[in-house]
Each structure stands twice: as C-alpha cells, then as structure tokens.
Structure 1
Amino acid sequence: MAYEPNASRSRAVLIGVYAYEHRADFANLPSVRTNVRKLHEVLTDRTLGRMLRTTVEAPRESCTRDEALRLIRTSAAQATDLLLVYFAGHGYMDVLGDELYLMTRESSRRTARTTGIPYTGLLAELARSRAERVVLILDCCCSGNAKLESLDDRKFSLLVSSRPRSIIYGGDGIAPTPFTAALLKLLTTGTHEDGSVTVQSLGQGLKEIAEAEAAAIDPDADYDPWVPREVSSGGAGDTVLSAARHHHAEPWWRAAASRAGQRLRRVIGYLGFCWKTWAWGPGQPWWHRLLAGVVITAALAGLGMGVLTATRPEPLCPTPLELRALTSPETRDALAAVADAFRTSQEDLRPLGGRPAGCYQINVTVQAAPSDQTVAAFSDSAAWAEPQLACPQPGSTASPCPEPLRDVGPHPDVWLPASATEYQRVADAVRRPESAVSLGVPFTVARSPAVLAVSRRDGLTGRARAGETDADLVRAATAQGFTVRGAAPLSSDTALVHALHLPAGTGTDDPAPRGDDTAVICDAATATGQRRALLITEAEAAALFDPTMPGRPSCLGQYADPYTAYYPRDVPGLDLTFVPVTWRDAHADTAQRTEAVRRFAQWLRSPDGLRELGREGFRGADPKARPTTAPLLRDVFVRDPGPPPPPPPAADVDALVRRYGQPGGRRDVLFAVDVSTSSYSGSRAATIRSVLSAAVGGLAADDRYGIAAIPGSTGTDGHPAAPLPLGTHPAADAHRAIGALTAVDDDAPIAAALTGWSDQLARDHAGLPLLVLITDDEDSRGISRPPRGDVPVVVVSTEEFGCKLDFNIELTRAKGACLDASQDLPGRIGRTIAQLTATGGTG
C-alpha cells in the first residue's frame, strides 16, 4: 500500500547549480534553473503536490558548498516524516579514487575535494536527519556511481540519471534537462500504474521514457543519453511524491481559471469596441486615426520587447567540446595543470563548431591509468568500444573478461603515454582488422631524464652526479643505508626503463612495489625518519623539491623535501608522446574533435605550451635542450647530464614484460576471513565465497595457501588454527573449507589476528608471502593504528568505500593493496595477487 507523507512534517531541498565561476572546468547549465523552478511548482501544487510551500527550500541562485550544506542540514533537522533532496548540476568523479562529487558554484576540477559535496559526505548528513524516509534525486553526470547505502534504520530511495562514470546531455538552455523533464511529466500526468505516483512507479516510468528516447536517437548522433536508475531499501519505494493519476479529473482551480478567462475576454472585447469606435468610427477626425496607429505601434513594439526580454535565456556560453586525454599516473597531475593553462589560451577561444567567439571552445579532461592497463585496453580495443559484447556473462570467475571501460575509463581522444615505449607495445595490435581504434602519427612533446633521487642534500658519498650506471648508483645507495623504492614495472614507464638496466639483485627491496610513481613519492613523503632513494624521473624529483609547481601531488603539501638527483648514463629518460586517437564509428562530430586535437597539439608545441611544460619540470623535446625554467635550475639538478641513451629495443621490453608478468617463484598465500556475524552473513557471505573461489582458482599447482577464520580457535602451538592449513591442496579440499565457513556471534580481533598470521608467514614461508584479509571493516574502524608486519597485505573490503578507511589505508600504504565493493571483487582479486607476487622490485 502506498505511503502518504505528512506535508507539515516533511521537508524538501531543491539545489540547482546552473552558473559556475570556473567555466573552463564546468560550463554553465541554464536548463538547471528551469528544473528547480518547475519542480518546486509541481511539488507544492495544491492538487498534485505533497509538500507545503513553506517547507520546500529552492534557492533561485547557484549555491556554494557551504550554502548547499546549510540548507540540507536545516531541512534534515526539521523533517520527521519525509526528507526529499534534489540536486541538478555537474557531477565529477575523482580520478584518483571512486568518489562522486556534486559540484557547487565555486567548484573547479583542482578543488573538487574541498569545494564539491562528496556523495559519502551527503549521505552522512542525511543519516543525521530525524526523518523516517529519505528520497535523494541526482540529475548530474556520473550520478550512476552513487550507491544505495544504509542510513541507519531509515527507509531510503535513490533516483539517478546516468550510468556510472557517464556524461549526460545538459539540456538546450531553455527547457528542463531531459531527466528532470521526464520527472516533471510523470509527477504532473501520472504513471501507467493505478493510484498516486510513488518513487517505485516513478523509477519505472522514467526507465520507459528513457528507453523510448534512446530508440529514437540517431546512432551516429553525438548525444549522451540519460539512463535512470531507482533503488530503494526498507520498502521506501512506496513513498508517494504526487497525487497525479494517469487519468485524473480536472482540478477545481482549472475550471475557475477558465471562467475568469472568459470574463476577462468579455471586458477586453468591450474596451476594444470602444477604442475602435473612437478611432475609426464614422465622422471621427483624421488625427484620431493617426494617434491610434501610433499607440498601437508603440504597444506592439513594447509587447514584443517584453516577450523577447522575458523569454531570452541569459547570455551563457554553450558547453565546450569535451576532449579526453589519457596519460600515465606519474604525469597526470602535471598534464592536468598544463591543460588548465590551455583553457585560458587564445587557441581555446577561437570559434569551433558554431560556438561563439570569446567562449571556451574545448575542455580538456585528463584521466590516468597504469601502463599495463592502458596497453591491455588498446590491445583489446573491441572490448573497450563494446563492453557488453566482451562480457556476455558478467560476474563469471572462471575466465574474467577484459573491462577497459572500468579499469581505464572513457574513450580518449588523445593519448599521452609517459614513454614512446608504451606506444610501441600497442602499435601492432591497433593495426589489426578487429581493432576499434586507430592511432595518429605520434610526436614527442617533452622529455624528462631518469634519475635516482636521494633524500639527503649531500647525496651519495663518492658518486658523480652524472655518468654512473643505474646499477652502480643503486648499489651505492643500498650500501650507504638508503631504502631504494620504485614502482611496479608493469604499471609504471619510469620503473620499466629502470628495470631494463638493473641486474637481478640490485633493484628495490620492496616485496610489493607501488602501482605508480605518485604512490612512491607520497609514501616517501610520509616515511619520516627513513633515508629513501627513489627510482623516478627528473620532473617528479622537481615536484618533491618545489612546492610552487602547479601540478605537484597534493600529498606533498607545502613542504620541500631535500632530495638530490643522480643521472644514470645507461637509462633512457621518458619522452612524453602525443598520440591522436580516433574511434571508428564513435562520433558524429569527428571533424570538430580532429580540429580540437590539432589545436591542443599545436599549442603544446608553441612557446606558451613549452613554458607550461617547463613549469612542471619537463625539458624540451630536443634531446640537447637544456632547462630554462625555475624548477630545474636549482643545484640539486644537473643542467647537462650528457646525451640520453637510445630507447630500449622492443624485444627487450617484451621480454621484461613477460618476465614481470610471471609469478616470482612459489607463493605462500593465507586468506584471513572475518566470519563475525556482521561480515559473514547474507549477500556478504556469498561475495566472500566467490572471492575465495576466484583467488584459489588463480593459484598455481605448487603454490601454498591456507584459509583462516577470524575469530577462530588457537592451535596447540599457541598460534591461530586455520580451517585449511598453509600448504598445497587439491581444489576439492579448498571448496570444502570454503563451504565449511560459518558465522560466529562475536567481535573479530582483526589487529591481533593480523599480527599472529603475519608473524607466522614471515617465519615459516617457503615462497613469496602474502596475507589476504577479507572483512566488512566493522571491527577495524576504531583501530587508530594497524599492526606493522613484514608481509604484504591485501585488504578485501565488502563495504562500498572500504578502501577510504584510515585503517586500510595505513595497513596497505607501504606494501600491499586494497579492493572494496565498488569494484568487481571476484574479477580483480586474482590479478591483484598476481601483481603483488610477480617478480618483485626493479631488479
């Protein structure tokens, strides 16, 4: 039965951000202003609506973050029955994580975390409300990344307008946006179901309208469709939002308005007759006719100007063309800063595709993915172009299908690999007939020599700043007490070129290298009291030293670390390469995109573009070019380290990639499973069993593994007992042990269990050790500092945002990895174990 909310005890907040201060990042959305006005009218309509005008907050102007949160908090505190929150504007996904941000008036891409409203933060505000029911409606890009979360004991409904990480059309500037237009239609005219419009029937009606519109769209049109989704918990889907019925009777006010209109027409007709008689009646003087003509002409002119003024939209610039640039994680921040400078250049103001002069024409969005995922995506571009065909049976753990759209992101228009070596790895694959992408002629944009950055101003004793081999520098750093760190060669171009010139035994001593150079730098910044030597590039070393660089990683803050750069003579530096990308049958605006790519490339080669690249610590494309900008003119760098060595042969790169892709010997993997009732129950238990089955199935026959339960019993030796002890096991034994796991009505001693199992693995391992913790984080939230151990840890959290918890961040910071429920856990666990136990380090 439908639930009718009490209007006096209910509250609504309608937030529409239609004007943005940083238009280079987020274009204005004039249609959003119409959204809020019309939705307010429907919700407070005397016949249809279920809200009072005094209980609906609908600000006329675009809100700042603080203003929006103040409105939400006030309504959340006042509502005791229904709390409805509506947001329309720009949505933005944090490229370094999986957080959805709702952009407010003062938001920019660089300040998204501080000026935008994080979805998790919004949920926290809603959870503090006294309302019995909460309805959240999001009309913005990437709203599909919003997940249905538990709001304590409240009934919660979520309505979103897009798929995960998807852009949707922002409207024509006059009518409402497509999603809200359909929402208004259903709230006004009703759904196909009998009775009032509930959240559930609204979601079904929106889906039907979206499918009908999508079927009518030209497949070649460059149109980003809206794809609604409605999910509810606790039976919140029966909440009534409108009294409209599919065939409802005419309301009383409409009949009264019709009668008033008839009387008004009679009065106007009488006045018109009098006027006509005075001006054109028989015997009237000529000046009556002249004066009447002048009056009528002036009245028509005034009416026309009034209509134009009232209906004319604000002089807002149209949405710029979205140009996506894909690069490596180690260059993302720097290139994002360079792209910001391009948005304010003259190249971005010249008309493109009918957009008026003076408006921003191109919006360059920089996204990043590790090199191994990027290479895999381009090599299997068909799965990137049509993921639904590549994964006909999603969720299968037997043979996980490639999902580049999830792992790498939307289709790029420009590829900027940190090294031409990465381009060479995919050149042959994209030439195959089945490839869905073609790559243009590449050219070098800038260079950055490979360096060993030593965390001490006086550097390495007895070693020259340039001219030594990479192996000699690493050996010297190790001998002098430095901890050598580098990223995983499969996912970092920097680590790959270093690894090519380091004999076995002279690489890093890290059993689980970080996934990219930014993580290596951030780890070094937080490793107080340690002497570090980092295998990175000159540009990254400049970021360590110079806090004024625009693209400096935010983890470094304003502190200038005293690092000294050493230049190995045998390691080729990174040559940042510009590669145009064309997707077959992807866009109807191919000509515009080609011109936009050409403009971006031309600007990067111009003095302005080279100056911005120099500010980020890059040298010119000419190998003989010396640095001319501030970051590289300090004494910790060498202006002329000598001629760069030639790039490595493709055969050597392929051999190294194959070597690092293979397990580095036998593995010892222990799966520690949180079986407390909060963790091992319902759908979570099924997820945990799927993760275990997928992980065990990906291990080799000679790998040793075990399964332990937390909480569990203690063996006779004083150590925790395991349902499946560490050793080699047939598949049947593993499946039997997984099926035998049962929930325990007790808290899980996570810290103590981690310490015990880590110590046992460190002492008894016969191969590469790895500890996998599978938990719901319930019993680790209150632990301020996780235990330290020598064994890498993989945390598998069954919570949506488990990897953002401080405990899990600290536990996996130095070595390890974290997966949470926002990812495909069964599909990714095997790959994560393989990465952490592949031939480690860089040597």
Structure 2
Amino acid sequence: MSRFDPRGRANRALIVGVSEYDHTAPAPYGVTGQLPAVRHNRTTLEDALYRGGVFGAGEVTVLPSPSQHDFTGALRRAVSEAEGLLLLYFAGHAVVNTSGGELHLQMRTARVLAGELPGAVSFAQVLSEICVAENRAEKVLVILDCCYAGHAAGIWHRFPDPEGNKEKVLLLMSVQPNRCILGGDADIATPFTRELVEVLDEDGEIWLSELYPTLKQRMDEAGYRAEEDDPQIPQALAPPWDPDADVLLAARPVPSPAPVSSPESAPVLSPASVPAPVPVLSPASAPVPPAHPVAVPDPSPPRAPVPAPQTPDPPPGPRRPRRSRLLAGAADSVRAVTDRLGRTLLTFLLALLATGAGGYGIFALIGDAGTCAPSRELRVLTDPDLEATLQAAADAYFASAVNTTDDGCRRGGVTVYSAGASAVVTALSKQTDAWQQPFDDDNPQRDIGPQPDVWIPATGADVGRVTAAQQNRVFARLEPDTEPFAYSPVVLAVPQDLARTLGKPTGRSLSELIDALEAAPGAAEVHRPDPGFADSALLATVGLYGDGDDVRGAERLLTRPERPEPSAVKLLCSLPDDDAVDDRGAALVPEFLLRSGVDCHPATRVPRTAAYPDDVPGMEPTFVRVRWDHGDRDANARDDEANRFRTWLTGAEGRAVLGEQGFRSATGERALLDAESAPDGLTDTVRPPESADSSVLDDTLEQYGNAHEAGRVLFLLDSSGSMSGLWDGPSGGPGILKRTLPGLGGEDEYGVRALHGIESRTHTDLLPFGSHPRKDGERALDTAKVRDAEADPPTALLDALAFMRERGADDERPQLIVYLTDGEDDTRLTGDKLEQVVERAGTAGVPVAMVTLNSGACDSGRPGTLIAEASRGRCLDAGDDLVPALHDEVARVGTGEE
C-alpha cells in the first residue's frame, strides 16, 4: 500500500468554526468567551483548500458556529459522500470531562453545568459518526484547533472501532494533551491555523508527512505559547511519516523561472508605479492572542491591531471550572498591562473598549491607579460529589477580604476540579511519576487533571489508602490535616410518602432500613451510585456489606441498573427522568445534597426524607497539602496561598459557605452549620458512626468488583410435551432464550438444561456449563426438541439451586437461574415440595427468574411468584413485556457482548 493521492476522487472537507456562543461568562454556566479569531480561521482555511487543488468545487462545506444538531447532521452527510479524502476541521472552545478521559467540542449553544456539558459533542461521538460501516473514504484527517486538542489521541486509542474503520483516521492537533491555548486576535486567525494555511499555500505537493514537522518547526520558531506560558506544540497521530498513513493535502503548481532579460530590455517604472511596501508581521512578532478575547467593533478606518489584555486562566484540568471571577481577573490583568504598555497605549486600548462597554465598565476595570500582578492559581482536586461545594467556597474566597490586598488586588485564585475517588487514590499511590511525565497508556494528567496543590478527599481514610499502596518511586508527599473540616452523613433519602412507613429515621443498620422499605406497600427501589467512582457510594457499601459474608445477597438489596450513575449528584439528577422511579426510588447519597444538589435538573423532584443508618461512615472532607518533587520553585508562595485558603475555609466565612451547602460540624453532635434554612426531612443532630477505615474501604471496593465481574447463568428449558405449541419461532421457548444471549459476554459462564422426565433423570444438558461464544449457545438451542415426557419442576429447581450454590461458594460473582415453562407441570409444585423449593431458594443465594408463557402465573400466591420472591429474583408471565424484561435480567448478571 502506497501513500494516498486523493485528486480526482469524491473528496469532502467540513470546516467547523465556532466563533460565536449563545452563553458566555460571566453569565451562569457560560463558556469562557467569544472567539472572533475563528471567523478568520474559517475563511483562510477554505481559501487554502480550494487553492490547493485537492478539493474541487462544492467539496468544501463551511459551518459557522453551528448547533450540536447541525454539526452532527453535516458530519453524517460528509461521511456519506466522501470516497477519497474526508477532512474534518474544528476550531472553537473545548473542555474535558470530570475524569479527564473525554474531550468535548463545544458548539454554539454550549453550556457548562455540574456533571453535564449540554451543547457539546464528545470526540468519541465524532469518531462514532466517522467510523461507520457506510464510510467509503480512503483516508480521514481530523484537524482540531482547540483547548485540550491533544486528548483526542488517547480517545482514538481507546475507541472500540466495531466496524474496523479507525485505522483510516489521522489526527492533527493544535496543542499537546492537558493544555489550553489562547483565544486568538480578532483581526487574524489563531496561530495554529495561521501557520497551517501558510504551509498549505506553499508551492508544489504538500503531504501530511511533510506538513506536520514543518508546522511543528514553524510554531517552535515563532515561540507561540499556550496558557501557563507553556510552549504550544502541535501533535499528530497515526504517524504521518508512515507511508501507509500519508495523504496528499495540497498540490499547487510550481512557477517556472522567469526568463532572464538584458538590462536594456528591462522596463523602467516611474516613481508613481512602484508599489508601496506593505508591512508584514512575522509569526514571532505577531501579537499574542488573549486567553478570553473580547469582541470589539472594528474601528473605521482600519487600524493596526493592538495587543489585548490577557486574563489568566486556571491550569488545565479534566473540565474547565466555572469562573465567576472573570471581571476581577480582567481588572488585575488591565492593571498589569498598564506597567508593560504605558498609560498612552492603555488609554487608546480603553477607548476602543469604550465603544462597546461604556464608561462605567471602564471604571470598573481600571479601579485605582495601582498595578496588580496576575494572581497565583491554587489547584484543588476533590471528590465528584464535593466539587460544587468547593467551587462555591472558592468563588467566595476569591472575593473575600483575606484574598484582597490594600491596593485592591487579588492575592490568589482557586481552580477546583474532580475525578473518580478510586482513580485519584491509584494515581497518588502508584502513578506519581507518570503524573509528572506521562506515558502513553499511563497518564494521570489526561485521566485526572493537573498535579494538585491541594487534595480534598471525601474521607481522610483515602489518605491511608494512598500511603498503604505507595510503591518505591513516589514523587508526591501528602501532608493531611489531622481532623476533617466538615461532616455530612450518608443517608437513605426516601420519598416522603414511603418514609412514613419507616418510623424512626435513626438507630438502625442500612440493611434493616432497606428491609423495612421493602415491607412497605408498593414497589420500593434502592439506588446507589458507583462505589468505584464516588466515595459516598463506597461508604454506603461498607454498611451494606456489613461483615462481608454475603456480598452477593447484599447487592441484591439494591436496584441494579445496567450502568450505575457515577456520583450521588448525577443520581439525584437522573431519578426525576422517570416519575414512577422518582416516586418509589430511595437513594443512598450524602445528606448535604438534599439541600445543595438539586439544582442540576429542571424537573420537579419528589420530596425526600433522610434516614440515618448507624453503620455507614459519613463524609469527612479533609484538607491535604500535596508536595511534588522538583516543585519547589515557588513552593513558599504556594504554601502561603494554600495556608490562606485553609484558614479561610475552616474559619467563619468558610463555615458559612459550607453551612449554606448543607454541611454539619465536624465535631461534637454534628449539628447543621446552617440549621435555620435546612430543608424539611433532616434530623437536627445525629450520632455519627465510626469514621471510615482505609483497609475496610479497600476490602469493600474489592468485594464490589468481584460481585460485578463475569456472571453465571443456568437456563432451564421446559421440554415436556405440553410445550409443543409454544416451541417454534422467536417467541417460542428456545427463541426467547436465544434473544437473551446478547446480555452475556465472552467471560460469562452459562449452560442450558432441557427439562423432561420425572424419575431418575430429570434433565438433559443441551449446553454444558462454562464460557461459550454466542453462536455455540444459539446452536445448542436450535437443536433443542420437545420430548414426549412430562417434567419435574421441583426436582429440577432443587438440583439447579444446589449446582449454582456450589459454583458460587468461593466468590461474589453474580448468578442467575432462568426457568422457562408453560406452567402445565406446576401441579407438581405444591405442598411440601413447593415449601422445600421456596426454602432452598431463600438460602442458596441465587436469584431465580421464573418465566411462564401463559398469563396469571405471577399472581399473588402462585408457585412462580413465591419462588422468585424467596430468591430475590423476578417472576414474568405472558402479561409482562416478557422478552425485553428477561433480557434485562440476564444482562444485569452478564458482562454483555464485547
């Protein structure tokens, strides 16, 4: 295979440039600002592609500031039409999610909410739209000119690529991972796109293998800087120097040399005909674009561009935090510009701003005549459920008197970001070297965020988890406070209509509270977030497991969705999506979220009352200073800032913010810090359980992982003669079981038994128990036949329960028995035999799905209902939506198709 020349093919280029946004800071949830430079990106790149000769008339589509819907629609059209080269270019704002693992391209309607990024398109979704079976393009080049563009490479590596099209996708990215770029100047294109167009406009053939190193060299020589004064270094993926990955991007004619003429024949130009020299800014001398460009009306006549003031941004993190302090930061920056540029130039700059901002805005930006250095930014990493609270505290601290000098300048700022609690523990214990110098597949900067100055875990026990697992090469030292600075119990938040049946909300274990809830009228559900992501869910699981003797049984107390919500915040936001679920759903969440965590969704929630289990440790956020090897260049200044923030957070002002967020005192009777405005349904004072233990947390997380590993399913198929009329086709007995097999993955174990016979042998193995490809299971069910015999349900079920109990004796892996029948032989499930099966089902630790192809089999008191309830399984009959319901039961146990 040789490098690809797309000329003459049906090529498509989609240029997406988002220069205007509907929601911008300082408006709530807005992106960081407009991007007028991106207008020039769109036009200059379009012209360069047409001049390059690869793309013909009508093959370049430009999308100016599209919505999310318009973008995906245009991308699908381009993918369906391209047969040669498909080029996708994006310029605009981009952020990474809380965990840092996903890049989101922000379209015109983008906003930044807690745990959500509406109006954005994830890069994984972009790859999903490109890597479809219908994609006939030979090569796809994706060019990203946005913050965090380098994250796209890691997403490309992790992308599952079900259609096998990923290898044709090449990436060209404007900046390395975990870096933000500056917003550009309103009069010219952004640096990366400006240099890209310059290279594409060179004479001759331009191949990707030549463009990338040339672009990299030009940007290095020009000295372009990203935020935090880091160099801006473009990146490439699927190495362009690989001949199989190379593609022609432009082929401009090389001009022939001009003929040599004698001096006598040279034309003589009059002075009036000599063109005036046009000043050209070299890349090195071009003005550095601002971090948050301000849209300024173009003066008339045109004037030379004036360097705009730069507003410092936070260090890059998994998700850019909401910055309510934009104007204050701008004021500091303008004062700093005063020193550098002088009062005359600043006056001219402010005159331009006055055309759109008005005099009061100018006064607010200037303040007094003093100058302010850019404020130091403190990086604070925390638990996902604590992020909103600490962001509120950080905003209040930034504007506080303790953070303001006598000259009105801000001493420092706080950037708050969060990541999965277990991932942070692993990174701080085993990956601190990779955090300083990322490896390809070991990159906490990408997966979590920048190296924190301060870590605030949900419990001080996380510090013990880190130190217990630390290995020899440790490049970060933790200095935790000896006591937490706040407290919030983990509660069972119960809809008020159900809470009345619980009685006293304190003094009982979590399992007792759940049992009481199940005994209440109606179908109550208990929901828990992912213990592997949020510490509040892990703390709840400590109480749920108790001594850990029956982890599988404890897990069956909970409503198990196919994928749990990552955090308690997200769980409380998702419950109202279904009114029925909200009405009957209790949630294991931190108590403070019953006050502060309900503003993330427009839906009206069911009011909830808190029940306080006495065996679930509470959340005890703790201030931990993190010191990094070779991070001592400004250690004293960072110490001062960290100490100032700690003092404020634990003092009266900080406690007031924590009280508004719903937290309690960290000592004594754990009284609410702001009891007067507490919502109904909370208890004034609580007696806290013992604090979390680090080794118990690790053991609980391991048990949880085991309980959600590959599952075991034993299918019992009634093959007696009465099933003959319910056998054939997708809705017959074997057909129904075949439709559940996609819920099982390659590591799951399962077997199929055909039930027939009432004497010595009651079943035949259609498929022996073990791990099987899906096609083997389908083949076994295709060979199943109805037997001219009756079935013995009680003996078959007792054998199956004993078999599965033995298989699960040494682990917590999920298990399930599926019994599918027409119910004709249920006459044998009566009296002592039924009692024996029900008793065994209640003690075997294996849920049973009793599935009957006739109606009424799941009525109260029927054998199927009694067995399913005793085993904590499910009863289904013809009155239910049987096939999808049974598929869901199997999928909850299995790992699903890969």
Asked if TM exceeds 0.5, the reply is yes
Question: 2:663 pairs with 577, 594, 618, which one?
Answer: 618
Indicate the residue corresponding to 1:295 in structure 2.
Answer: none
Q: Please say if 1:143 is aligned against 2:187.
A: no
Farther off after superposition, 523-532 or 115-124: 523-532
1:366 aligns with 2:421: no
Deviation at 1:171, TM superposition (A): 7.2
Distance (Å, rounded) in 2 between the aligned partners of 1:761 and 1:357: 76
Matched residue, 2:590 = 537
Give the partner amino acid of 2:200: L
Q: Superposition pairs for residues 138-177 of structure 1, below 5 Å? A: 138-140=144-146, 141=148, 142-145=151-154, 147=156, 157-161=169-173, 166-170=178-182, 173=185
Aligned length: 666
User: Deviation of residue 761 (structure 1)?
Assistant: 8.0
SS in 2 for 1:575: coil
Aligned to 2:473: 434
Q: 1:109-136, CA deviations, whole angstroms, 9 ceiling, x for partnerless residues?
A: 2186432234455567767999887543
Unaligned runs of 5+ in 2: 277-298, 317-377, 716-741, 757-761, 785-796, 817-848, 852-867, 874-883
Cα offset for 1:439? 2.5
What one-letter code is carried by the residue in structure 2 that aligns with 1:114?
Answer: P
2:428 equivalent to 1:378: yes
Q: Could you tell me which of 99, 107, 111 is aligned with 1:108? A: 111
1:84 matched to 2:87: yes
Aligned 8 A contact 1:326 1:416 in 2: yes
C-alpha distance in 2, partners of 1:506/1:50? 66
Superposed CA deviations along residues 618-664 of structure 1, whole A, max 9, x for unmatched, are 235565564466996233111233x545535667x478559848968
Amino acid at match of 2:386: T
| Contact kept? 1:89, 1:103, Cα under 8 Å | yes
Q: Does 1:317 align with 2:311?
A: yes
> For the Cα contact (< 8 Å) 1:133–1:154, is it kept in 2?
no
1:327 aligns with 2:382: yes
Task: Give, in whole Å, the separation in 2 of the partners of 1:202 and 1:792.
Answer: 63
How far did residue 87 of structure 1 move?
Answer: 0.7
SS of the residue aligned with 2:98? coil
In the aligned structure 1, how far is the partner of 2:774 from the partner of 2:453? 50
SS at match of 1:452: strand
Matched, 1:459 2:499: yes
| 1:338 partner amino acid | A
CA shift, 1:249, in A, is 4.0
Q: Distance in 1 between matches of 2:110 and 2:79?
A: 24
| Kept in 2: contact 1:538–1:617 (CA 8 A) | yes
Deviation at 1:561, TM superposition (A): 2.4
Residue 796 of structure 1: aligned partner: none
| 1:242-270 deviation digits (Å, cap 9, x = unpaired) | 1158xx446999x9xxx999947554699
Specify the alignment match of 2:611 in structure 1: 566
SS of equivalent to 2:144: strand
* Structure 2 Cα separation of the partners of residues 706 and 315 of structure 1: 63
156, 171, 184: which one pairs with 2:197?
A: 184
Instruction: Tell me, in whole angstroms, the C-alpha distance in 1 between the residues paired with 2:123 and 2:181.
Output: 21
Describe the superposition over 1:685-713 as per-residue Cα deviations: whole angstroms up to 9, x where unpaired: xxx9xx96xx6xxxxxxxxx7478xxx99
Q: CA deviation at 1:154?
A: 12
The 3 A distance-change label for structure 1 pair 437 and 4 is same
Shift of 1:223: 4.5
Displacement of 1:376 after TM fit?
2.6
Residue from 531, 535, 541 that aligns with 1:493: 535
**Counterpart of 1:197?**
206
Aligned-partner residue type, residue 465 of structure 2: R
When residues 121 and 812 of structure 1 are mapped into structure 2, their CA distance, relative to the original with a 3 A threshold, is: farther
> Given that residues 433 and 473 in structure 2 are in contact (C-alpha distance below 8 angstroms), is that contact kept between their aligned partners in structure 1?
no
Q: Could you tell me whether the CA contact under 8 Å between 2:16 and 2:89 is conserved in 1?
A: yes
**Residue 464 of structure 1: how far off its partner (Å):** 2.4
CA distance in 2, matches of 1:671, 1:97: 40
**Secondary structure of 1:374's match?**
helix
Whole-Å separation in 2 of the counterparts to 1:592 and 1:181: 38
Q: From 235, 245, 248, give the equivalent of 1:240.
A: 248
| Secondary structure of the structure 2 residue equivalent to 1:576 | coil
Residue of structure 2 in register with 1:804 after alignment: none
State the Cα deviation string for residues 756-815 of structure 1 (Å, max 9, x = none). xx999878412145479xxxxxxxxxxxxxx9999999xxxxxxxxxxxxx999959995
CA contact (8 A) 1:492 1:515 kept: no
Amino acid at match of 1:364: T
Q: Quick one: distance in 2 between partners of 1:662 and 1:152?
A: 31
Q: Distance in 1 between matches of 2:409 and 2:266?
A: 49
Letter in 2 for 1:115: G
Structure with the bigger RCO (C-alpha within 8 Å, sep 6+) is 1
Question: Does the residue aligned with 2:201 lie in a helix, a strand or coil?
Answer: helix
Which residues in structure 2 correspond to 1:36-75 (within 5 Å)? Answer: 36-45=42-51, 48-51=52-55, 56=60, 65=68
Measure, in 2, the Cα distance between the counterparts of 1:265 and 1:819.
81
1:52 to partner: Cα distance: 6.5
Q: Displacement of 1:15 after TM fit?
A: 1.4
- The two structures have a TM-score, normalised by structure 2, of 0.57
1:23-62 per-residue CA deviation (whole Å, 9 max, x = no partner) reads 67536667655544543443243xx454578865557x75
C-alpha separation between the residues in 1 aligned to 2:655 and 2:267? Answer: 68
Q: CA RMSD in A?
A: 6.3
Are the counterparts in 1 of residues 493 and 611 from structure 2 also a CA contact under 8 Å? yes
Unaligned runs of 5+ in 1: 271-304, 395-401, 673-687, 696-704, 728-733, 753-757, 773-786, 794-806, 822-843
| 1:592–1:64 CA distance, 2 compared to 1 (3 A) | farther
2: distance between equivalents of 1:15 and 1:103? 10
1:227 is aligned to: 235
Residue identity in the other structure for 1:166? N
